[in-house]
Amino acid sequence: MGVRELAEAANVSPTTITRLERGEALYPRTIQAIRYVLEAAGIEFVPENGGGAGVRLKKHEA
């Protein structure tokens, strides 16, 4: 998923996605909208577990 596709799906501007990638501050509701789209696309957010927070693809159920 590219910047434009993610921005469109989250109903934000491509500039907002670029700002997120640079680590700039965004409104919590904007971050949640982007996260929802990524989760719907199969991305799982992994909490801090001693090795740092991260992301991974969700496992498909058998």
CA dist 28 and 30 (Å) reads: 5
Query: How does pLDDT run across 6-23, given as a tens digit for each residue?
Result: 999 999 999 999 999 999
Selection from 7, 43, 1, 38 nearest residue 16 by Cα: 7
Query: d(Cα 47, Cα 58) in Å, to the nearest integer?
Result: 14
pLDDT digits (tens, 9 = 90+) for 12-57: 999 999 999 999 999 999 999 999 999 999 998 888 776 777 777 7
User: What are the structural domains of the chain?
Assistant: 3-57 (1.10.260.40)
